[in-house]
Amino acid sequence: MAESALRSPTRWTAAAVLIGFGLVPVYAALAGAPYQVTLFLRIMIYALAALSLNFLLGVGGLVSFGHALYLGIGAYGVSILQYYGLTSGVLQLAAALATGAVFALAIGAVVVRLSGMTFIMITLAFAQMGYFLAVSLKTYGGEDGRSIDIRSTLGPLDLSGNITLYYVVFAALLAALWVYARMAESRFGMVLRGCRSNERRMLALGFPTFRYKLLAYVLSALGCVLAGFFLANLTSYASPSYMQWTVSAELIIMALLGGIGTLFGPVAGALVFLLLEEVLGRWKPGVLPPVERLVNDHFLALIGLFIILVVLTARRGLYGWLAAREAR
């Protein structure tokens, strides 16, 4: 078993990506490119959010178009408490997680009773309600959002430095991978898979499927709240735009691109999606200016074509395709 693990391409790929994440600040310092730290910080934060959504989507089979709501709750947890002079990240994160848990319990109690397109549309509706609620909060910036003057402090860790924030997010991502892996392989995860396959049979076997799905929804939401907390500290800004449905769609695309239902797929998907966005948006080869302008102006369309190509040729996503080849 140990020998097969050493020969596993999926494990080697995941390990290489994680080691690469860990070495980015070193490379940025040697190359004199501090922007790389900010770029990969953003990638890891969205990877954390996509990983959280994937637990609900890939294990539970519930497609949520509303998880951007919880990303916004995490960001506003920093902004609102900082407005009142509280810069303790412990208090900000605790308040954001508590608020996110209340919202997730209330919304989840409604939506997990549903399935299919109805579930998708109701989660979207709740997220849009949260978006318009944030727009109406004029005290905290309203539609324009609000800048955050002072970054949080997590106990002895001051997140004002990008390097400290980077490694805190990196540690959170590693912890999330471990937690979601344990949950997916536990009795809890097996029941969720059973609900995805045949909920009536699980009910007949005596499992309280509503409670299992509600807990999965809440845990998935809290992961996005944590990502929102980090996002606010990275951008020093909290905005209603974090709650827009397009953000939820991007998280689903990241999970889809990497491989829905695989543990590391959302991380790989976030890495590929955001790197493509960065490279194509700034592509300046210095030749054929019309082509350069075409790529810069329509890079999202090119990313869309790439996603379609991946879906048509590797339906399990990039990392899922690698895992399928390994299984064969």
pLDDT range class, residue 301, cuts 50, 70, 90: confident
Listed range (90-94, 104-108, 232-236, 281-285) with the worst mean pLDDT: 281-285
- Name which of 123, 105, 104 is nearest 65 in CA terms: 123
| Res 3 pLDDT > 50 | no
| Res 260 pLDDT > 60 | yes
- Share the mean pLDDT of the chain: 88
| Res 252 pLDDT > 90 | yes
Residue type, 234: L
pLDDT range class, residue 112, cuts 50, 70, 90: very high
For residues 240 and 73, is the Cβ–Cβ distance under 8 A?
no
pLDDT range class, residue 314, cuts 50, 70, 90: confident
- Domain of 199: which CATH number? 1.10.3470
| Res 74 pLDDT > 50 | yes
pLDDT of residue 95: 96
Count the neighbouring beta carbons within 10 Å of the beta carbon of residue 170: 18
> Could you tell me which residue, 11 or 110, shows the higher pLDDT?
110
pLDDT range class, residue 1, cuts 50, 70, 90: very low
Q: Is 287 helix (H, G, I), strand (E, B) or coil?
A: coil
Which residue range(s) make up the domain with 14? Answer: 2-327
What is the tally of structural domains in the chain?
1
pLDDT range class, residue 46, cuts 50, 70, 90: very high
With 0-12 CB in 10 A as exposed, 13-18 as middle and 19+ as buried, what is 149?
Answer: exposed
pLDDT single digits (tens) 11-43: 888 899 999 999 999 999 999 888 999 999 999
pLDDT range class, residue 60, cuts 50, 70, 90: confident
**Rounded to 5°, angle at Cα 13 from 226 and 31:** 75
Q: What is the DSSP letter of 87?
A: -
What global pTM score does this model have?
0.92
For residues 286 and 301, is the Cβ–Cβ distance under 8 A?
no
189-218 b/e (C-beta count within 10 Å ≥ 16 → b): bebbbbbbeebeebeeeebebeebbbbbbb
